[in-house]
Amino acid sequence: MVLLAGNDYPWGMADIFDVVADTTRRDILAVLLDRETSVPGSGGEISVSEIVATLGLSQPTVSKHLKVLREAGLVGVREKGQHRFYHLDRGPLEVIEDWLIPFVSSDAAADAATLAGAAASEPGLNDDQLALASRIGKAFAETAHQVTSVVGQKKRR
């Protein structure tokens, strides 16, 4: 894999890393994720005032950070009168995840990548079979990463 630099990252990835580097913005993303998973009928939407109340921050501070998140494409907004309802947009986060997986996956995921590489050098495999092996390796790596993340969260609690 060739690492890209600066503006060559997909979707301005370098900028997204800067955006999620801020603790307050990560906290806002966590609130949006919690709303999405804990209130099924909400469509993941939450008002600015609810975010303010949840985080105990001032409204101008939350609004400033939501603007940065919106400009980075990490959140979407729906306006209703004077109220704004925000929701998580996973697209840019999935790009980051795809880039990070090779760096944070378990040994099992690395083994899957090795096996996929070995399959690629196996004589007699056609392009469809190679593509399938690659997709299986990536899915395995993603699953291993998710399991590792969940286990790590449970240990920290």
Domain boundaries defined on the chain: 7-89, 105-156
Q: What is the pLDDT of residues 33-86, one digit of tens each?
A: 999 988 888 888 999 999 999 999 999 999 999 999 999 999 999 999 989 999
CATH of domain 7-89: 1.10.10.10
Contact between residue 52 and residue 62 where contact means Cβ atoms under 8 Å apart: yes
Angle at Cα 118 formed by Cα 114 and Cα 120, nearest 5°? 115
pLDDT of residue 92: 85
Nearest to 71 by CA among 18, 30, 131: 18
For the segment 92-100, the average pLDDT, to the nearest whole number, is: 81
